[in-house]
Structures are given as structure tokens and as C-alpha cells.
Structure 1
Amino acid sequence: MEPALRHVATFCGQCNCGCPELYVAEDAPAERRIVITDDFGQKIEMSAGQLAVLVADIKAGVLDEVLAPA
């Protein structure tokens, strides 16, 4: 049985195509509590600690090169 998900954020939201979303599965094991879904029906599960590292890396500019125009 899948735990109930609490919605946190929708990324994009400018369309009706099933944008990626961030959820917290409060009843899930700690290592799978953060859930990111995509518009293809797939999901990523991670711990809050892993999400914190991801957010810190993004804030530090780790993805800036990936997002820069070619």
C-alpha cells in the first residue's frame, strides 16, 4: 500500500500536461519520504537529507552550466 502524499510544489504549472510535482509521504520510511513525480508517471523517492543536498547544490550553481543556452 502506497503512503498518502502531501503536495508541496508543482514545477511549471503553466500548462495542463502533468508537470513534475514534489510531495512528502509522511508515513513512508525516512529514506523514501520525499517523492518527485514527472509527467510520464514515473517517480523519484529520496530522503529529506538527499533533497537538502540537491537544493544546496542547486543554490550553489551546480546546474547553471546545464541550464545555460548553448
Structure 2
Amino acid sequence: MTQSWDLLIQGAKVFDGSGALPSIQDVAVRNGKIAARGDSLPADAATGVDGSNQWLVPGMLDIPRTDPR
């Protein structure tokens, strides 16, 4: 059976940088990218992580970089 997600983080406090207040959400990742987020996503993932009492800040380390050479 094929999994819907590669990774599912459930119940984390998500700060998305939009200016909205952080909220408790599930975040699903497929092929290295956020595929879905919301309340009670289907728990059909290859790997699951309990995000309770954790902050999730997607994209925080996705910073463009330049080669100094």
C-alpha cells in the first residue's frame, strides 16, 4: 500500500509567518515539500511525529544562499 505522506507531524503549534496567530495543526510532507496542513489530516504516513507541545516553523531554514567563490 502506498502511503499518502512521507512524514506527518501531528498536533504541532504552527507559526507560518503570515501574520496570523500560531495554531495547532497537522503538517504533511511528501517528496521533501509540505503537501498539506490542517486539522486531523489522515494518519497515512511512512513516518509519524507527535508534535504536541512543539513549535513548527516551516521554511525557517529554506534560505537562499550564494556561493562566495
Q: TM-score band (shorter)?
A: 0.3 to 0.5
Higher relative contact order (Cα pairs below 8 Å, separated by 6+ residues): 2
Return the TM-score normalized by structure 2: 0.33
The structure carrying a bigger strand percent of its residues is 2
